[in-house]
Structures are given as structure tokens and as C-alpha cells.
Structure 1
Amino acid sequence: MSDAFEIATVSALHCVLEPHDWAFDRQRGAEIDAHWAARRAEIPALFDGPVLLAHGVSRGNARESATENATENATLGVKFFATRFSRFLAWRDFGFPDASVYNCFSMPALRSADGAFLLGEMGADHSAAGAIYFPAGTPDPSDLRGGLVDLEANLLRELEEETGVTPQEVRLSPDWTIVFAGPRVACMRIAQSPLAAAELEARVTARIATQKKPELAGVRMAARRADLAEPRMLGFIRRFLEPLLPE
């Protein structure tokens, strides 16, 4: 995958669900099933539930920034379709062979009162065990609201499920920051906490310790750009954080 990232700022998302004939699933079904069986043998906790991927991403009213590799536009339009986690996992693990499909998801960038960001280390039962990024989950049918996919609801749900931080305890930034990273489209909003970094880290760590099956193995606080050198941090997370942290 390319390390080239594009950043956009949008004020709104318009995400719809519509049918899509995914050739990758139709043509490589037996291979996908075999891959799923192998992955389940490695990580029995994996569940083949329904998920939503995107087959169209559009950026209307865009204008290029003259000073940064960034694009500003009013609304990001996304066309989602329903599939199953086994199909998504194979597509990801096979190197994203269908370039017409995207993994579009939301992420809360949980920021402490003193400017540090909380990142999670994915647990051993996760399909991306050991990777470090913001709390997140692939959208699924529970995020549907009258035919629309509500990524803000997804963002707040994942934040609470993984960290215990409730929607009432954070203030979301008004705009979305979209990071285009090849087949990944990360839709991020800063979730501002009133807690200092040490307090926020201690609280989430304590929460993880009480969970029987936590999604996170632990948390990391990124307060300075030097903290982004962690090799397990996903590249698009690093790209998002670089301009937000001091040297």
C-alpha cells in the first residue's frame, strides 16, 4: 500500500446504504471461506457478523489548498453496501484487490485537556492484534438510521464500548477530518475530554481491567511528535496527528 495520504475537512457526511454486486465476493467465495477458516483457527473469537463497506466515495465542492496537501469541501458522500466480516477480512488480508471498494469508518480522536491523544493497542482477539490507533469499528447495520449510515453514532458507540468514555463526557469538533489512505477512508472528529492526560489514561486503563473480553490490550498517550515513532501505529493515524502535536 502507498504511504501517500490526502486530508480533507468537511462539515457533514451523507452516507447511504444501497445494494452492490461485489465481484470479489462472488468470484472468490471458496478462497474467502478457506481464509476465514484459517483465521478462525488462529483467533477463535472472530465473529462473522454483518458489516458495511463502501463502493462509492464522492467529494463535492472541493478546493485544493495552496499551502498544504489538503482539500476542503462541504460534504463527503459515501455509498455503503452490506457484506460480512469474513469477506471484509479476506479483502484486507489479500491486499485490497478490488480498488473500487473502500473501508470507510469513523474514529474519535480522544484528546485530553492538556493536548495529548489517547490511542488503543488492539487486543489478542482482534483481527489487527497489536496495532495502535484510535477506538474504531467497521460500521454495521446497527448504525443505520432510516436508510442512512450514521457515522457519528458509530464513533460515539465505539468510544464508549472501548474506553468507557460516554458521549456526555466529550465535546466533538464541529467538522470532520477525512484521511484518504488508499482503500481506507478514515472519518475523524476530535473528542475533547476535560481530563488531563494522566487522569484519562488511568481511567481508561482501569476500565479495560474490569472487562472480561476487552477489545484493547492497553492504551498509549501521544503528547508530542516523538510519540508517533511507535512502529505499530497505523500510518494514517500518524499523518492525522503530526500537525496537531508539538515537537
Structure 2
Amino acid sequence: MNRDLLITRVPQIEARCEPMEWSWAKQNQERIQANWQRRLAQTPAMFNGRVLAIRDMELTREVCRNVYFQVDYADFVGWIDMGHPDDTIANGFAMGALRGADGAFICGVMHGHTANAGRVYFPAGTPDLSDLRPDGSVDLATSLTRELLEETGLGEDDYHVEDEWIIVQRWPSVALMRLVTLPVSAAEGAQRIRATIARQDPPELSDVRIIRSADDIDPKAMPLFLQSFFRWTFDQA
């Protein structure tokens, strides 16, 4: 598996879920449970459901093929908090790169009660069982629009989604991104999202940030894959 930064445009994604016993999680349950209890003390609203992680990935110019497997969220969070000790798997999530008609991007600031409090990135979430289809496929396109709706209040009639996917691979993070463009400026879009946040109880976001250039990249709050995406995007402008 390529561990270097790789940003690739592809016309389609094929994703499916297959069974796998995660040996690392099985061998480290004591540490995982201790970590989960620590997390719960900080964010009591966290729920230990089932999520999907990548166990295999194939990337060409024509398609990105991902194979997922089911895992307890507590195991997944433990793997993240312990520094991704099993580098054979990855966190592969769909993400809408939200921008205004003026080209400026809009990121969310995760609320204090969430697992990623204070982090800044586009609306997204680790795929879960709701993204599984009866044939075993993983519906990442719907995952992307669902997360946008849940976090920002923006529905599919409020924006245009590009067909093309942008794969930002900075293992063990794999962001499966599509450009999502509003018909209004980023400032107007941000104002609308802030109004939605004010009505939500509890909101997933505490605020939004507008990213107009590489100068707006926040190395302390933004994950590395997103910093890379912005530098790549603005270098092409």
C-alpha cells in the first residue's frame, strides 16, 4: 500500500464490504476499553456503534476500488488514539469539499461534545451500517450528502455536486472527495450554516471557517490530508 501523499482524480468509486476479523483489535481489547472509558469521560455522548474501515484499496486513473470491513467504533477510536499501530487498514470516508460560487471553501469547526472537538474540516463521517446496501456495496455518494445535511442543514437542492471524485490519500487517512458548489458566495453560505447551527440541539459544528487561499490553512486544527488538499488546489489556481 502506498504510504506517500497521493492526490488523484477518478471518474468513479467502487466500494464493498466484506467480513474480516481484525486481529489487532482482538489482541488489544484491554487497552481499547481503557481508551474508550477515557474518551467517554470527555465526551459522554459518544456511541459505540459499528463503522466501516478500509482493509484493501486499488487506485487507477479510471476507478478507486475500496474493500471495507465492519468494526466497533471503540476499536476504531482506539486505533486512532494509539497512533494507527496497524498500518494495514485505513480510515476511508466520503467528504464534500464545500465551496461558494466565488471559489472560496467552507469548513466546519467540530463542536466540543464531538470526538474531534475543535478540528477543522469539511463535513464528513466514517461510513457506517446505514451506508451498506443489500448487495454488499458501500454507498459513499449518499454518505457524503447525508453528512452535509446533518452538519450544515444543506440539502441536495442547495448545491451542485461534481461527478468526479478526488482521492486524497495520506495513509492511514483516505478522503474520498467531491467538489460541492453553492450558488451563492462562501460568505452567504457560511451565514446560512451558522443559522442552522444555532437551531440545532446539539449541533455537530460550533462554527465555520472560510478558506480563500493557502494563507488560511490552519496546521494546528486541520488534519494533514486537508492541508494537502488545499495546497494542491490553490497551486492549480
Work out which of the residue numbers 72, 77, 86 in structure 1 matches 2:74: 86
Work out which of the residue numbers 90, 94, 102 in structure 2 matches 1:102: 90
Distance (Å, rounded) in 2 between the aligned partners of 1:197 and 1:218: 14
Question: Residue 231 of structure 2 corresponds to which residue in structure 1?
Answer: 242
Distance (Å, rounded) in 1 between the aligned partners of 2:4 and 2:111: 28
> 1:227, CA displacement in angstroms?
0.8
1:76 aligned to 2:60?
Answer: no
The change in CA–CA distance for 1:56 and 1:163 in structure 2 (over 3 A counts) is same
Distance (Å, rounded) in 1 between the aligned partners of 2:87 and 2:234: 32
Runs of 4+ in 1 over 6 A off after TM superposition: none
Distance (Å, rounded) in 1 between the aligned partners of 2:42 and 2:218: 29
Question: Residue 114 of structure 1 corresponds to which residue in structure 2?
Answer: 102
1:51 aligned to 2:51?
Answer: yes
Residues 79-102 of structure 1 deviation map (CA, whole Å, 9 limit, x = unaligned): 111111101100000000111111
Distance (Å, rounded) in 2 between the aligned partners of 1:165 and 1:230: 27
> 1:189, CA displacement in angstroms?
0.3
Q: Provide TM-score, normalisation by structure 1.
A: 0.91
Distance (Å, rounded) in 2 between the aligned partners of 1:91 and 1:48: 14
Residues 41-76 of structure 1 deviation map (CA, whole Å, 9 limit, x = unaligned): 1111111111111110112xx3xxxxxxxxxx1111
Identity of aligned residues (%): 38
> 1:186, CA displacement in angstroms?
0.5
Residues 170-209 of structure 1: matches in 2 within 5 Å?
170-209=159-198
Question: Residue 233 of structure 1 corresponds to which residue in structure 2?
Answer: 222
Distance (Å, rounded) in 2 between the aligned partners of 1:160 and 1:105: 16
Q: 3-state DSSP class of the match of 2:7?
A: strand
> 1:120, CA displacement in angstroms?
0.6
> 1:4, CA displacement in angstroms?
4.8
- Unaligned 5+ runs, structure 2: none
Q: 3-state DSSP class of the match of 1:145?
A: coil
Question: Residue 201 of structure 2 corresponds to which residue in structure 1?
Answer: 212
Distance (Å, rounded) in 1 between the aligned partners of 2:27 and 2:189: 47
Native 8 Å contact 2:101 2:184 kept in 1: yes
Question: Residue 34 of structure 1 corresponds to which residue in structure 2?
Answer: 34
Q: Provide TM-score, normalisation by structure 2.
A: 0.94
| Count of aligned pairs | 233
Residues 59-74 of structure 1: matches in 2 within 5 Å?
59=59, 62=60, 73-74=61-62
